[in-house]
Amino acid sequence: MRTGEQSIAAFCDQLAAATPAPGGGAAAAVAGAMGASLVSMVGGLTRGREKFQAVEEEMAAAQEAGRREADALLTLADEDQAAFNQVMAAFALPKSTPEEKAERQRTVQAAYQEATRTPLETMRHCLAVMRHALAVVEKGNQNAVSDGCVGFLLADAAFEGALWNVAINLGSIKDGAFLQEVLGEVARMRREREEVQQAFRGLAPDPVTRFLKQQ
Amino acid sequence: MRTGEQSIAAFCDQLAAATPAPGGGAAAAVAGAMGASLVSMVGGLTRGREKFQAVEEEMAAAQEAGRREADALLTLADEDQAAFNQVMAAFALPKSTPEEKAERQRTVQAAYQEATRTPLETMRHCLAVMRHALAVVEKGNQNAVSDGCVGFLLADAAFEGALWNVAINLGSIKDGAFLQEVLGEVARMRREREEVQQAFRGLAPDPVTRFLKQQ
């Protein structure tokens, strides 16, 4: 059954089970999908109001991107589990002859690469969600600002969760060129995330002070 | 339908809809429940192994607490939506006579207090999840360390998301004693969270460096 089709309670039960999949990679992707959905919500609660005419286009983009990113992230939750199963299947291949050993080694390496690419893709989508979250928090309907903030926070945690799932594979990957490519992409995305985080902290520094001041 | 019974995709669709509920409060609680479930998973993957005999009791506690906290957080996701609906219902009360106005005012205030208590309770449960996550990341099966880390990160984001949902009500609450009690509790929990975050950063400073070093 696809992750999106499972009930929330059943998915939690499967996470809680003492089996390696589904695990943190899938949970991070689902959290990112919820964050994306909240961005969509705030975009939708902003659009079509005269007061927000100047940002109509940006809010429409956030609303649409939120739904698209949520779908992509739920698919990545499935792919994360599939990639883990591929690694397990590769390790189960026979290794009696030198040919079998070489074939198994190739399959294991290909599976590790796929298990790295999947959370890397989750990181990319979470970064996109964070950017749109920033837009709705800054320019969207302020009655829903807390929803935009939760959207940002969930995408941010999912980014870091996915990063852990990229990282756990790095020690097993033998292809130096692939490894360097991944490390470069990770470094680039972490810099971008740092910028987006700083912008968020500037916009939404402290919830308690913000709302007490409104009294 | 209870939040836990909904499919993940349907819940995301409801979040994404341009209606105020369900929103960030419920999404934060669900993220916390996923974090709690991951803590349970790592506890379970650690228990009953000779190598981890010394921490058997602590891992059993984490495994059990994770399931209990996940249940509590899914219930809080329901309560968050119910509390929002109460606020809306209170505002819809008649206000033609002074008596009706006074009654409406009392009901609105009671509803705001309940809408504040619910995410405050979510914060408490997320803090408990973070403490158990710290234990499994530090002392649990290191093959599942990334799952424990994602558990921590999701509970941490859910804590802050719930804080936003406490904060949005603060400007509307007239009862000074209640307000002071909430502010005290928030300040206490934020200090505790800061300590737990620091401990986490000490244990799990950088995923990339950690796993590359293992090569």
Please write the tens of the pLDDT for every residue from B143-188: 999 999 999 999 999 999 999 999 999 999 999 999 999 999 999 9
Q: How many residues are there in chain A?
A: 215
Q: Which residue has the tokens 């609660």?
A: A45
Indicate whether A66 pLDDT > 60: yes
pLDDT digits (tens, 9 = 90+) for B111-151: 999 999 999 999 999 999 999 999 999 999 999 999 999 99
Report the pLDDT averaged over residues A16-27: 96
Burial of A28 (0-12, 13-18, 19+ CB in 10 A): buried
The three-state secondary structure class of A56 is helix
Q: What average pLDDT does the segment B189-205 reach?
A: 96
Asked if B18 lies within 8 A of A45 by C-beta distance, the reply is yes
| Pairwise CB contact (< 8 Å): A154 & B12 | no
SS (H, E, C) chain A: CCHHHCEHHHHHHHHHCCCCCCCHHHHHHHHHHHHHHHHHHHHHHHCCCHHHHHHHHHHHHHHHHHHHHHHHHHHHHHHHHHHHHHHHHHHCCCCCCHHHHHHHHHHHHHHHHHHHHHHHHHHHHHHHHHHHHHHHHHHCCHHHHHHHHHHHHHHHHHHHHHHHHHHHHHCCCCCHHHHHHHHHHHHHHHHHHHHHHHHHHHHCCCHHHHHHHCC
Do the chains contact at B45 and A20, CB–CB below 8 Å? yes
Q: What residues of B are in contact with residue A12 (Cβ under 8 Å)?
A: 4, 33-34, 36-37, 70, 74
- Residues A36-54 have pLDDT tens digits of 999 999 999 999 999 999 9
How far apart are the two ends of chain B, measured CA to CA in Å?
A: 49
Distance CA A56, CA A59 (A): 5
User: What is the least distance, in Å, from the CA of A63 to any CA of chain B?
Assistant: 8
Q: What pLDDT digit, counting tens, does each position of A89-141 carry?
A: 999 999 999 999 999 999 999 999 999 999 999 999 999 999 999 999 999 99
Of A30, A165, A212, Cβ closest to residue B170: A212
pLDDT grade, residue A212 (50/70/90)? confident
* Cβ contact, residue pair B23, A150, below 8 Å: yes
Residues A173 and A116: beta-carbon distance below 8 Å = yes
pLDDT at residue A213 above 80? Answer: no
Q: What is the pLDDT of residue A197?
A: 98
Q: Is the pLDDT reported for residue B214 higher than 90? A: no
Tell me how crowded residue A23 is: count the other CB atoms within 10 A of its CB. 27
Q: What is the mean pLDDT of residues B17-33?
A: 97
The C-alpha angle with vertex B20 and arms to B15 and B21, in degrees rounded to 5, equals 60
> What is the rounded distance in angstroms from the CA atom of residue B120 to the CA atom of residue A31?
20
In the numeric block, the tokens 């009862």 are attached to: B175
Contact at CB, B150 and A25, closer than 8 angstroms: yes
- Give mean pLDDT, residues A68-88: 97
User: Given A13, A149, A212, which is nearest B24 (Cβ)?
Assistant: A149
Beta carbons of A128 and A39 less than 8 angstroms apart = no
Beta-carbon separation of B37 and A30 below 8 A: no
pLDDT at A77 over 80: yes
Closest residue to A31, CB basis, from B36, B154, B186: B154
Contacts of B45 (CB under 8 A, 6+ apart): A18, A19, A20, B140, B141, B143, B144
The helix/strand/coil state of A7 is strand
Distance CA(B197)–CA(B194), nearest Å, equals 5
Residue A214 predicted with pLDDT over 90? no
Average pLDDT on B103-117 reads: 98
pLDDT band at B212 (very low <50, low <70, confident <90, very high): confident
Neighbours of B43 (CB within 10 A): 29
Token pair belonging to B124: 């408490």
Q: For the whole model, what pTM was predicted?
A: 0.98
Mean pLDDT for the stretch of residues B197-204: 96
> In this model, does residue B24 exceed pLDDT 90?
yes
pLDDT in the model for residue A88: 96
B215 has a pLDDT exceeding 60: no
Q: Which residues of A touch B67 (CB under 8 A)?
A: 16
B59 phi, psi to nearest 5 deg: -70, -35
Contacts with A179 (C-beta within 8 Å, 6 or more apart), sequence order: A170, A173
pLDDT at A215 over 70: no
CB contact under 8 A, A23 and B146: yes
pLDDT of residue A171: 94
Task: State how far the alpha carbon of B108 is from the alpha carbons of B21, B46, B103, B169, in Å.
Answer: 18, 49, 9, 11
What does each C-alpha distance from A138 to A36, A107, A141, B54 come to in angstroms?
A: 16, 47, 9, 50
Planar angle of CA B20, A128, A117, nearest 5 degrees: 125
Structure tokens at B92: 């819809």
Written as six digits, the tokens of B175 are 């009862």
Residues A157, A151: Cα–Cα separation, whole Å: 10
- Closest chain B residue to A41, measured at CA: B16
In whole angstroms, what is the distance from residue B130 CA to residue B165 CA?
A: 19
Whole-number Å distance between alpha carbons of B182 and B188: 10
How near does any CA of chain B get to the CA of A190, in Å?
11
pLDDT over threshold 60, residue A16: yes
* Percent of chain A whose predicted confidence (pLDDT) is above 90: 96
User: Would you state the structure tokens that stand for residue A36, as one six-digit string?
Assistant: 């994306």
Please tell me which residue, A214 or B99, carries the higher pLDDT value.
B99
Test A37 with B16 for CB contact under 8 angstroms: yes
Tokens 């403490």 map to which residue?
B131
Choose among A9, A66, A156: nearest Cβ to B16.
A66
What residue has token string 């590790």?
A112
CA–CA separation, A158 vs B109, rounded Å? 36
More confident residue, A214 or B124: B124
